[in-house]
Amino acid sequence: MTNVEIYTWQTCPFCVRAKALLDRKGVSYQEYAIDGDQAARMAMAERAGGRTSVPQIFIDDRGLGGCDELHALERAGQLDQLLQGKA
Q: What is the pTM of this model?
A: 0.93
Position 28 scores a pLDDT of: 95
CA-CA distance, 4 to 44, in Å (whole number)? 14
Mean pLDDT of the chain: 95
Domain holding 70, by residue range, is 4-83
| CATH code for the domain in which residue 18 is found | 3.40.30.10
CA-CA distance, 47 to 41, in Å (whole number)? 10
Domain count, the chain: 1
Q: What are the pLDDT digits (tens) for 22-52?
A: 999 999 999 999 999 999 999 999 999 999 9
